Amino acid sequence: MSKTEPRITLTEVARHAGVSRATVSLVLRDSPLVAAETRARVQASAEAVGYLYNRGAATMRGLRTRTVGLLVTEIDNPFFGELVAGAEAALEAAGYIAFLATTADSVERQQRALQRLREHRVDGLILCAAGGTTPQDIATLAGQGMPCVQAMRQVRGSRGDFTGADNLLGLEHLTEHLIRLGHRRFAFAGTAVMNSSLRHRLDGVETALRRHGLPAPLVLRTAATRQGGAEAAETLWRMRDRPDALVCCNDVVAFGAIPALQRLGAGIGQDIAVTGVGDVPEAANGNPPLTTVATDPRRIGQEAVRLLLRRIAQPAAAMEQVVLPARLVIRASCGAAMPLPAGAA
């Protein structure tokens, strides 16, 4: 059946309206060249014959595709869920649509996804780079003239647009708060695969501790997952000179650590403070509610889109790096809901 039906192209619209293909093309793109009367007639004809614009054909003459690639490590993590939601909404508002690809933190999968996105001629990329991505990888994209914004994670030593949370300052504030509550021996969990985001979080903890003359944190090289959080908790609880504060690299790790510690008999907030990073909606809702550093992933997604559209419009513009403030959210899991003095970001 699809053999016989003649597909409806701009030629059919032109025939129906009694004008040339060129005129129809101009009308479709709202060119001011065409007379108002003609425009109306053509639009009516397009409607009448059931015309559907073919973006692929237009792209062949070198036009933008109005698509971008959205590469994240995992979409089931609510943190990236929010980031993607923010980006998707901003793209939709700008008339763009996103190809979604996930890498599971594997550079091979990331490479395959990039190849496919380039074949589809995306206008640009929002990239939460997989661990192990090299500055050379980022430079290669730039060399191909592919606009690219790194979100959340910045490949160490790479150049280019970036947006993410102020992990360094956020974790400093968190650590200061824990110190003020009387905690002295710190552990940091979830560093099995390192990336710039994690690096800064750990740096923030170390900086604050150093400032107070306290020993560096114990670094637990477990996975940045629920499961990894549980493992970190078990390791930690078995120690002789056990830490009294467990700073998890993100909320999901804390969600894994807390029930594990509870099973082992720990009183969260009493025997040990546990904190996360991200402030995903579930954080307010745990047992106990989680003290965390809010990084506003939805906002990061929006900002990444803004940077990307700017880069697409002006490929040679100066590079821009937007670090969004991180906000300390104090709940019960750190032992005391003592608010910071006003003015602390």
**178: three-class secondary structure by DSSP:** helix
Q: How far, rounded to the nearest angstrom, does the alpha carbon of residue 209 sit from its chain's CA centroid?
A: 29
Work out the number of other CB atoms within 10 angstroms of the CB of residue 319: 11
Identify residues 215-254 at the interface with its own copies (CB under 8 A).
226
Burial class of residue 29, CB neighbours in 10 A (0-12, 13-18, 19+): exposed
Task: State the nearest-atom distance from the C-beta of 139 to DNA, in Å.
Answer: 24
Tell me the per-residue interface mask from 62 to 91 with DNA, x by CB under 7 A, - otherwise.
xx----------------------------
Q: Which is nearer to its own copies, 282 or 320 (CB)?
A: 282
Residue 135's binding partner, choosing from its own copies, DNA, none, with beta-carbon cut-off 5 to 8 A by kind?
A: none
Query: Reduced to 3 states, what is the DSSP secondary structure of residue 287?
Result: coil
Q: Which of residues 260-299 bind its own copies (CB under 8 A)?
A: 281-282, 284-288, 298
The closest of 55, 84, 85, 90 to 70, measured between CA atoms, is: 84
Residue 169 CA: distances (Å) to CA of 127, 141, 175, 203: 23, 30, 10, 9
Compare residues 169 and 274 and give the one whose CB is closer to its own copies: 274
**Residue 231 CA neighbour count, 13 Å, CB half:** 14
The residues facing 278 across adjacent strands are 294
- Contacts with DNA: how many residues (CB under 7 A)? 29
Q: Which is nearer to DNA, 23 or 333 (CB)?
A: 23
The interface partner of residue 89, options being DNA, its own copies, none and the CB cut-off 5 to 8 Å by kind, is its own copies
| Partner in contact with 288, chosen from its own copies, DNA, none, beta carbon below 5 to 8 Å by kind | its own copies
Closest C-alpha among 284, 303, 250 to residue 86: 303
Closest approach, Cβ 296 to DNA, in A, equals: 38
* CA–CA gap between residue 22 and residue 298 (Å, rounded): 42
**Cβ proximity to its own copies, 226 vs 242, nearer residue:** 226
Binding marks (x or -) toward its own copies, 3..42, rule CB under 8 A? ----------------------------------------
Span 11-30, contacts to DNA by CB under 7 A: 11, 18-23, 25-26, 28-29
**CA distance linking residue 17 with residue 21, whole number of Å:** 10
Residues 82-121 that bind its own copies (CB under 8 A): 82, 84-85, 88-89, 92, 97-102, 109, 112-113, 116-121
Q: Tell me how far, at minimum, the Cβ of 206 lies from its own copies, in Å.
A: 29
3-class DSSP state of 218: strand
Instruction: Calculate the alpha carbon distances from 224 to 64, 74, 168, 249, 278 in Å.
Output: 38, 12, 18, 7, 13
Crossing angle, helix 196-211 and helix 167-180, to 10 degrees? 40
Q: Does 58 bind DNA (CB under 7 A)?
A: yes
What is the spatial distance between Cα 187 and Cα 241, in angstroms, rounded to a whole number? Answer: 12
Closer Cβ to its own copies, 170 or 256, answer by number: 256
- 61 binding partner (options DNA, its own copies, none; Cβ < 5 to 8 Å by kind): DNA
In the complex, the residues that contact DNA under the rule CB under 7 A are 7, 9-11, 18-23, 25-26, 28-29, 33-35, 37-38, 51-54, 57-58, 60-63
In the complex, the residues that contact its own copies under the rule CB under 8 A are 2, 52-57, 59-60, 65, 67, 70, 74-78, 81-82, 84-85, 88-89, 92, 97-102, 109, 112-113, 116-121, 145, 226, 255, 258-259, 281-282, 284-288, 298
